[in-house]
């Protein structure tokens, strides 16, 4: 067996898409992390079993020294709350961890990038997560290898148990009138998407833990910053007909959105170049809002004609 190359934990979430998973796991094999947490949702019926078994074969191909933990569900929970359950499980066993889904293909250097920054900012409570995806692909006028932002992508990320311990599974923050008033003011000032609180309300009504809104709410209430690589390190392959959140193909979506599914991923060189100060890059936030058409109704309208 080959030795592990990076002393880091990696959670991989998958279900029944072995071809996509194989592309992700190929990068994991190149990086050779010391610990793997493998989470798979259970079948909806017999039709899922071939894909489920094929995925298990993909992640069984471990040819390096690695501590492996499995959490293979017998019941189907669906994307939500499976993602929340998987992440809470992994962070209960590791105080810091990288999270990849079966359609997040990382650069090989992403693992070392996360390892170094997970250690560097482990006790810096200003920092809530490390992203792998950069919506701009390459952010201009940045001399360091990463910067800080108040927006982030969950297409390949890393964080600490100290952050996931803050997650409010039952959305109890919605009942706190004082803090909700402050949250509404913050969303207005930051020009964040108007429907965020409505999304949280809907998710609570569904009776499930939707980790994306839970994670975002936690960062807003704790004034958390994300780390974003100056050059994009993740490809997302999820724009397929069998994906949970998208029906169709990357070729049928508006050009403005298509770009984020087709941009290049880049390797980073070590030693990393660190920024001198921890300060938000507001220009990046504004750029992401334009790309995603948040608070930009004319951009959203224009996208419908692309």
Q: Where do the domains of the chain lie?
A: 6-303
Strand duo 157-160 + 127-131: pairing = antiparallel
Q: Strands, E, within 58-192: which ranges?
A: 67-72, 96-101, 104-106, 127-131, 146-149, 157-160
- Closest by alpha carbon to 103, among 38, 17, 39, 26? 17
SS3 32: coil
Which pLDDT score is estimated for 299?
46
Please answer whether residues 17 and 103 qualify as being in contact, where contact means their C-beta atoms are separated by less than 8 angstroms.
yes
The pLDDT tens digits along the chain (306 residues) read: 999 999 999 999 999 999 999 999 999 999 999 999 999 999 999 999 999 999 999 999 999 999 999 999 999 999 999 999 999 999 999 999 999 999 999 999 999 999 999 999 999 999 999 999 999 999 999 999 999 999 999 999 999 999 999 999 999 999 999 999 999 999 999 888 889 999 999 999 999 999 999 999 999 999 999 999 999 999 999 755 555 545 555 555 666 567 788 899 999 999 999 999 999 999 999 999 888 776 555 444 444 544
Cβ atoms < 10 Å from Cβ of 168: 16
Tell me the CATH class for 6-303: alpha beta
Please count the CA atoms within 13 angstroms of the CA of 44 that sit on its side-chain side.
7
Which pLDDT score is estimated for 183?
97
- Closest by alpha carbon to 105, among 241, 264, 283, 274? 264
């Amino acid at each position: 067996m080959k030795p592990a190359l990076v002393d880091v934990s990696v959670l991989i979430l998958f279900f029944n898409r072995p071809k996509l998973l194989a592309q992700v796991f190929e990068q994991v094999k190149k990086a050779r992390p010391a610990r793997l947490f493998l989470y798979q949702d259970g079948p909806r019926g017999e039709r899922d079993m071939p894909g489920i078994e094929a995925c298990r074969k993909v992640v069984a191909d471990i040819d390096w020294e690695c501590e492996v933990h499995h959490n293979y569900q017998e019941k189907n929970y669906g994307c939500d709350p499976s993602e929340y359950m998987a992440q809470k499980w992994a962070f209960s066993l590791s105080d810091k961890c990288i999270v990849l889904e079966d359609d997040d293909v990382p650069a090989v250097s992403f693992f070392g990038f996360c390892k170094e920054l997970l250690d560097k900012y482990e006790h810096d409570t200003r920092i809530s997560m490390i992203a792998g995806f950069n919506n701009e692909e390459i952010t201009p006028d940045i001399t360091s290898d990463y910067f800080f932002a108040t927006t982030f992508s969950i297409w390949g990320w890393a964080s600490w148990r100290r952050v996931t311990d803050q997650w409010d599974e039952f959305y109890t923050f919605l009942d706190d009138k004082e803090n909700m008033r402050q949250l509404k003011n913050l969303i207005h000032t930051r020009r964040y998407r108007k429907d965020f609180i409505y999304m949280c309300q809907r998710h609570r009504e569904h009776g499930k833990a939707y980790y994306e809104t839970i994670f975002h709410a936690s960062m807003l209430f704790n004034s958390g910053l994300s780390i974003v690589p100056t050059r994009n390190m993740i490809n997302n392959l999820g724009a397929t007909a069998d994906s949970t959140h998208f029906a169709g193909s990357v070729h049928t979506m508006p050009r403005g959105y298509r770009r984020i599914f087709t941009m290049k991923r880049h390797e980073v060189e070590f030693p990393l170049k660190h920024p001198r100060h921890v300060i938000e890059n507001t220009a990046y936030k504004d750029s992401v809002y334009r790309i995603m058409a948040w608070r930009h109704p004319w951009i959203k309208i224009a996208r419908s004609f692309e």
